[in-house]
Structure 1
């Protein structure tokens, strides 16, 4: 459980978080970043070429912690002051994504390519009872007796690097109908992985079990825990693991309805009335060379001082409970997802975008990350050198969120939760994304009536 503590600490103290560039990816000038949502965007784009210098996003989304960001703005950054919503199946998702040096360019009017480098990390906790999570996080520091049961929960932490080659081409170019497709092939380098699965657990805490103020913790059930060699004990540091690699892919198509034909090669304007996209991202897996998993029978009774003396979660398992099995594991699946988008051009400069992200991975899959499902509506104002967007989203776990972002030439900055975080005292998600790029636009005016 200390892995989650470490990630939450890094997240809230350093305030570096976001989710999938909501709002920004609806922009026709999002360039390289739009390829991470749908690789078909590489061709027929508004750029002759684009170079990414540095950009980053990360996210925290959950249905347990309820934050009042006014406390953070006033200098209080202790998440222990937050309120909690303990349910029978609480969930947490943390996702970070850094895009390194990357570029895209046109081979011809119908063919385009790109190179994308990224470093990513995912952490999921799925369907854990909130009271059980709280008990483990506090090392059973409670003055009250309690008894809990848990049928099953899973958690997966995974970090990896990607080197992707993107190719896209125009498939149909009629007077009113335009279709393009794209694919990204990825080489994946594993940086670290750990997972936990708890089954048929029961926990009884007696606050005065052995003596006044010395409680006892009685547990039954089974826990499976696996980790790779490149992950630090506290889960807050990764390193490249030799021989731990794999392959992945993204695939997508985009259709545009164009009631008035224009010259794509010499036009930097949005010449469609309606654009519809479909894509599948993060197909693939990584095989870890040196990784092992152990299964433990946690039937035992220990006092709380003994429990707290074991600093690491794995140490608690090894020293306090009985290992019943051990095996090597190799395969870690990527967070495969389906994306559907629709973009409507109101009057050239004003657009409204609808996007949905759906996980193709189940929460019960062992040692597999998943995205949180979301539905996003984004009105935006768009010009060649400047855009403003307001993403309004409904997400798994945290519900409704409102954000804001902008693009000004080479710089973009935004968040899909900033308005909710500023105006609400009960935030369950937070994020911010930013980046600096070198755009090389196509020639042409930025106004065009359709």
Structure 2
């Protein structure tokens, strides 16, 4: 278990990237497949008659404990992240948009797209239990720590792929106004999944002779795994090798847009609202397992937490706990269903003067990250001023994220190529707890 924690923090320190994918470029005036990922209704506003997405990659990490200055300190990452009593939250997310094609015909817009996802998350992990496992209680000022977590603590990893089939139509249009509706139907290909959840975790950690022992403890525990992540949670290659599984899930996005036109510059105002990722997928594999347990350690009994020091898989964690005799199985199944992170997106892009635009973007999650069968999301609010010409844009997203707080970045677009970061400025000038990087290229064919 210690290696699981350290691996998560190692990914943070090496990749150090933010939470909203494609921050700033997602509301670009050059409307294409990337915009349609946020709202499928934008396909009826395609800037070119046809578009080919060659690639687009976004790597994001955010946390609520470690800033950039901490990475250069003499203290270990695992020491820093478990300081204090605030629960630890960390999100490491990779999104890769593969080949895609879109075209517009009269009032219609259509697209086919492909994506792959990888996630490693810590959700509300008690800093005291993390300190006991990773550091043998080095951050504790006394020889015992009381645990009283009235929430579900999760360690979650997953990979999956999707193929999207999208359609949009102009529902109402005049010389000045345009109203669109659209939807994307997603075919889901679950790859790997691993989840360790400890709900209502109460107990006492005693530090004796340099070791940590858990006593008087109760919790509802969920252990679930499928594919490579069950046997090697901390090996990053396990994520890369198991992105696309077999077709075993479906989801849908739907949305609408409202536009005030401008003959010269495309539009004076463009806005939209959408609901994304309504659906789920079923994981099936030879080593599939999901089991709910009751954890109970009473009286003079204790669990030596040093047993988890060299553990790097949930199967090993589960076996140690089962062998200890402190777990009682309450339910178990082989195949299991996992819900996608359903979110509400809303945005508006206003032309202040020709070539200068300001957009605001909101992402509000509609699901509960505490649920063991739930892939996580974050709430995000982004304000983006943008200098925009037909073939060139420069933009500076200013974001407030649920976990890492405020961040400022910069991005550029030249024709179909784009590159940017939602937190480059704050990473350089202050103690930011997130950073991100994205890059991509798409080819537009035919005049609008």
Q: TM-score, normalised by structure 1?
A: 0.86
Matched, 1:105 2:103: yes
Deviates more, 1:157-166 or 1:269-278: 269-278
Aligned to 2:417: 411
Counterpart in the other structure of 2:407? 401
CA distance in 1 between counterparts of 2:5 and 2:247 reads 24
Question: Is the CA contact 1:18–1:432 (under 8 Å) kept in the aligned structure 2?
Answer: no
Give SS of 1:47's match.
coil
Residue of structure 2 in register with 1:246 after alignment? 249
* Contact 1:70-1:422 within 8 A present in 2 as well: no
Note if contact 2:36-2:43 (Cα within 8 Å) is conserved in structure 1. Answer: yes
SS in 2 for 1:272: strand
Contact 2:18 / 2:422 at 8 angstroms: preserved in 1? no
Q: What's 1:171 paired with?
A: 171
- Corresponding residue for residue 182 of structure 1: 182
Q: Which residue of 2 aligns with 1:159?
A: 159
Q: 2:267 aligns with which of 263, 268, 272?
A: 272
Match of 2:222 in 1: 224
Q: Is the 8 A contact 2:187 2:247 kept in 1?
A: no
Q: Equivalent residue of 1:95, what SS? A: strand
What is the alpha-carbon distance in structure 2 between the residues aligned to residue 433 and residue 311 of structure 1?
30
Q: 1:441 to 1:400 in 2, by over 3 A?
A: farther
5+ residue gaps, structure 1, are: 263-268, 444-450
Distance 1:57 1:219, change over 3 A: farther
Cα deviation code 1:386-408 (max 9, x no counterpart):
10000011110211111111111
Q: Does residue 1:131 correspond to 2:133, yes or no?
A: no
- Count, aligned residues: 427
Match of 2:14 in 1: 13
Larger deviation, residues 308-317 vs 349-358: 308-317
Task: Indicate how the Cα distance of structure 1 residues 16 and 63 shifts in structure 2: closer, same or farther if over 3 A, else same.
Answer: closer
CA distance in 2, matches of 1:420, 1:81: 24
Q: CA deviation at 1:312?
A: 3.8
Q: Which residue of 2 aligns with 1:265?
A: none
- Whether 1:384 and 2:390 are equivalent positions in the alignment is yes
Q: Among 350, 371, 381, which residue is 2:377 paired with?
A: 371
CA-atom RMSD in angstroms: 2.7
Aligned CA distance change for structure 1 residues 203 and 137 (closer, same or farther; 3 Å) = farther
User: 1:245 offset after TM fit, Å?
Assistant: 1.3
What is the Cα deviation at residue 112 of structure 1?
1.5
Question: Structure 1 residues 44, 307: CA separation in 2 closer, same or farther (over 3 Å shift)?
Answer: closer
Task: Report if aligned partners of 1:345, 1:352 keep a CA contact under 8 Å in 2.
Answer: yes
Q: Residue 359 and residue 308 in structure 1: after superposition, are their counterparts in 2 closer, same or farther (change >3 A)?
A: same
C-alpha displacement at 1:140, in angstroms?
5.0
The aligned counterpart of 1:29 is 30
Instruction: Point out the more displaced range, 230-239 or 392-401.
Output: 230-239
When residues 125 and 214 of structure 1 are mapped into structure 2, their CA distance, relative to the original with a 3 A threshold, is closer
Alignment gaps of 5+ in structure 2:
none
Tell me how far apart the structure 2 counterparts of residues 151 and 226 of structure 1 sit (CA, whole Å): 21
Shift of 1:114: 0.9
Partner of 2:144: 146
Change (3 A) 1:309 1:48: closer
Which of the residues 269, 284, 289 maps onto 1:289? Answer: 284
Alignment check: 8 A CA contact 1:68 1:82 kept = no
